[in-house]
Each structure stands twice: as C-alpha cells, then as structure tokens.
Amino acid sequence: SRSFPLICSLPTTFCVSRSSVLGSNSPILRFLPKFWGSISILDQHPPNFTLHPNFGVLPPHLNVPTPKFWGSPLIFGVFPLFLPYREETEIIEGEVVEIQIDRPATGTGTKVGKLTLKTTEMETIYDLGAKMIEALSKEKVQAGDVITIDKATGKISKLGRSFTRARDYDAMGAQTKFVQCPDGELQKRREVVHTVSLHEIDVINSRTQGFLALFSGDTGEIKPEVREQINAKVAEWREEGKAEVIPGVLFIDEVHMLDIESFSFLNRALESDMAPVLIMATNRGITRYLSTPGQNHSLTHLGTPKSVVVTLFGEKETQKVLRIGCEEEDVEMTEDAYAVLTRIGLETSLRYAIQLITAASLVARKRKGAEVGVEDIKRVYSLFLDESRSTQYMREYQEAFLFNELQGESMETP
C-alpha cells in the first residue's frame, strides 16, 4: 500500500465539497484538540488560495496573479497569529416574513431581492444585494425562519423556525428547532469577539480604504514601518490583556506547490514561540520544486524531528473516508460493496475510489436497485480506468496516438 512521508495526506477532490473532509468528522481534525484555536486553510490551488470561512476566519480571497507571487510573502501574510478582540457590531435579528428574489428576464445580470423581517414589535423591508441573495439561498432561508445577519460581513445564521409556524408541516426533521420570534428592534448592537490575523490588522492600517481592501484582494505592499507599529501595538494589547494571541492551526493543502523560499521561511517561522500548529497535505512524496527544477524536495529539510508523520489511509481509514463520501452523496451501499471499494481504494487510489461512488450509484439506480452492490462497483470499474490501467492502455496503444515520435522526458509520478 502507499505510504506518505509527510505529516498527512488527503484526497484533494472529495466528492462535492472538500469541506466534508475538513469538517467536524474529518479524519484529520480528529487529531486536533479543540483548544488549538482557529484553523486557517491555505489552499494552493492556483490562482487562488482561500482561508476557509468555515472556521470563522475572515476569508480574504487574495488573487495571486503570477507564480512569482507564490511563496514566502504570501505565507507570511497568512501566517496566523490570531488575535481575538471585542467589538460592537450591528446585527439584524428577526423572523422572515417574506423573501422575494427577482431574476432578470434575460436570464443574465444581477438578481435583486427583497427581504421582509419582523420582530414581535416591528417589521422592516430590506433590499438584498447579489451576495446576500446567494447566501440566503445557500442557507435555504424561507418564510418562518428566525435568522441573524451580521450587517458588516453579511454572515447569516439560522436560529430556528418560529413557534408560530410550528403547524405549517406535519412532518419535521429531527433537527428542526423552534424558537420564539425575537422582540424589540430588528437591528441590535451586540458585542462579538472577532479573531483576526496579524496580516488583517496590517491591511486595515496600511491603506485608507482599510477593511475593504481585504475583500477586494488588492492589498498591495505592507510597509515594514506599519508592521513594526502593529507589532508594538499588539504587544501592548497583550500586556493589557485586551487581546490574546492564539497560534492556531495552519493547514497548507497541496504543499508541494510552494517554492524553496517558502519552505525556508516555514522552517524559520516554525521556530518562533508563537508558531501555529502546521499541517501540510500533499499527494506527492518526492517531487521537484516549482521554482528550482533541479532539486528534489521531500519536505525532509523541514526536518522530521520537527514534524510528526501521520500515515493516514490504511484499510480502516480508507473505508471510513469512503463511508463519509457515501453519506455526503446520499448513497446506500452494501457491506460487500464497501469491501470491494476499499480494496480498489487501496490498490489504485483513494480519489479514484471516491469518484466511483457517484457513478456506481447511478448504475444502481438504473437497474432500480435500492443500494449499491458489488456488481455495480464492478460495472463502473470496467467503465472507468484508474491511473495505472490508463497508463498501461497508453503504453499498449502509443503508436496509434499523435506525437508518438516525440521521445520527451516522461513525467515521474509517485
């Protein structure tokens, strides 16, 4: 079976959304004690990386225009020293009376919408922007829900359904929670604890437009003077007890995309006493640096003494991941089929096995089966080739393809 010389490894494409892997029942996060604080996720899929919003970290979608921008400056930017601070923000809390979204007749263009919210005392109509409409439909907000909206960030949270709507349906999901319609004013000021990274404070202070720069992606250069000032200020806050610094967890996905400078930086930064817990994921054991092609890198110079190697995905783990995958896709599968799929996952690749889930469920549905059986897995296994079979196929028939005369250097794959 495959073993990875890195701290850990995950399939990079996991069913529909990767959040299921990084979600609460993820095999990775099981290893992390709760008190480690915020988790930020640095996704190396070019040209964007994202700090994962699921973990309450502000999501600055920084566009990375050119490959030369990858690497140390970027990591330096997101190296998370989280600094919770208290601030009053304006929130809107109320029961949804009506939600109305107009799509333009042409089918393209921005949607406009109206949202009517009420409390026991009042009601107000709000105009919705495109992002808010998207968020509302993602949360499946409908009339009768009690929601809160953070006015500054647009974050929506559903508190439950209003008691007055309890008799709308006879059947209710187990998770349906009934709450009282809020009273008083719709807009309230509430003290919330934010966590920000030092980078975010730098950005807020380095530009006149401040906070918005985080979202527009154009952060520009942060001057060393600003950084020094912020460092001094943060040190002051820590002494006064106004803020505390939580190192947090930095998760770097596709770590092999980083260049040699980034690794040197990480190596240095990990020695700082405020360094976060670093988790790296890759699907490559030994590969070449992007920026310096001559040299192999295997993360070994990050130093095995500094890191703990977690070998994931033995047979048990593979099956568990597959089960989570089936759950995500709402696929029922027999135990035999699980066993076969696990075998496939171990012998080919986990990603291939995960991708077979959907295909197999479609096959099962076509034969009007209630759950996916071994024969469905066999069928899709014969339909879709995995990497090694595909390579073999190419070798066998290479004369038949175009450019067969080119004797280029073949890519090494792990």
Partner 1 sequence: MAVPSWLERLRAAGKTALVQDGKRKIHYLFEDGKEMAEEYDIKTGQLISRKWQEKNTLGGTGKWQVEVGEPTSPLLGALESELITESSSNPIFMRKDTLSSFQWRIRNLPYPKEVYSVSVEEEQRCCVIRTTNKKYYKKFSIPDLDRYHLPLDAAALSFTHANNTLIITYQKPKEILAAEEQLQKELKKIKAANSGDGDCKTQ
Beta-bridge partners for 98:
116
Q: Least CB distance from residue 230 to partner 1, whole Å?
A: 8
Pairwise CA distance, residues 265 & 80, whole Å: 14
Helices (H), 15-129: 19-22, 72-78
- Decide whether 120 or 388 has the Cβ nearer to partner 1: 120
Both tokens of 213, joined, read: 């720069």
159 vs 204 by CB, closer to partner 1: 204
For the range 50-59, what are the long-range contacts, defined as Cβ-Cβ under 8 Å and sequence gap of 24 or more?
51/78, 52/19, 52/22, 52/251, 54/19, 54/22, 54/23, 56/195, 57/82, 57/195, 57/197, 58/153, 58/196, 58/200, 58/214
CB of 65 to partner 1, least distance (A): 19
Using CB under 8 A as the binding rule, whether residue 120 contacts partner 1 is answered as: yes
Q: Are 148 and 90 in contact (CB under 8 A)?
A: no
CB of 109 to partner 1, least distance (A): 14
Question: Residue ranges of the alpha helices (H) in 182-253?
Answer: 198-206, 211-216, 224-240
Shortest Å, Cβ 237 to partner 1: 9
Among 47, 67, 104, 184, binds partner 1 (CB under 8 A): 184
Of the pair 98, 315, the CB lying nearest partner 1 is at 98
- SS3 call for 288: strand
CA–chain centroid gap for 147, Å, is 24
Examine residue 204 and tell whether it contacts partner 1 (CB under 8 A): yes
- Site for partner 1 (CB under 8 A): which residue of 211, 217, 336, 397? 211
The region of 4-12, 93-101, 110-118, 336-344 touching partner 1 under the rule CB under 8 A is 110-118
Q: How is residue 358 written in tokens?
A: 């959907």
CB of 126 within 8 A of CB of 115? yes
Position 315 contacts partner 1 (CB under 8 A): no
Tokens of 44: 């190396």
Closer of 130 and 172 to partner 1 (Cβ): 130
Shortest Å distance, C-beta 62 to partner 1? 16
CB of 225 to partner 1, least distance (A): 14
Smallest gap from residue 196 Cβ to partner 1 (A): 7
Closer by beta carbon to partner 1, 194 or else 288? 194
The answer to whether residue 163 forms part of the interface with partner 1 (CB under 8 A) is: no
Residue of the chain from 115, 257, 322, 324 that contacts partner 1 (CB under 8 A): 115
Sheet holding 277-280, edge to edge: 39-42, 249-252, 277-280
Q: Which residue has the tokens 């942060």?
A: 222
**Member of 23, 27, 129, 369 binding partner 1 (CB under 8 A):** 129
Q: Does 63 bind partner 1 (CB under 8 A)?
A: no
Q: Could you say whether residue 205 binds partner 1 (CB under 8 A)?
A: yes
| Exposure on the CB side of residue 10, measured as CA atoms within 13 A | 25
Q: Which is nearer to partner 1, 69 or 211 (CB)?
A: 211
E strand or H helix at 320 = helix 315-329
Stretch of 200-208, 367-375, 382-390, 405-413 lying at the interface with partner 1 (CB under 8 A): 200-208
Q: Compute the C-alpha angle 351/338/325, nearest 5°.
A: 45
Among 61, 114, 190, 268, binds partner 1 (CB under 8 A): 114
Site of interaction with partner 1 (CB under 8 A): 85-87, 92, 114-115, 118-132, 149, 151, 154, 184-185, 196, 201, 204-205, 210-212, 215-216, 230, 233
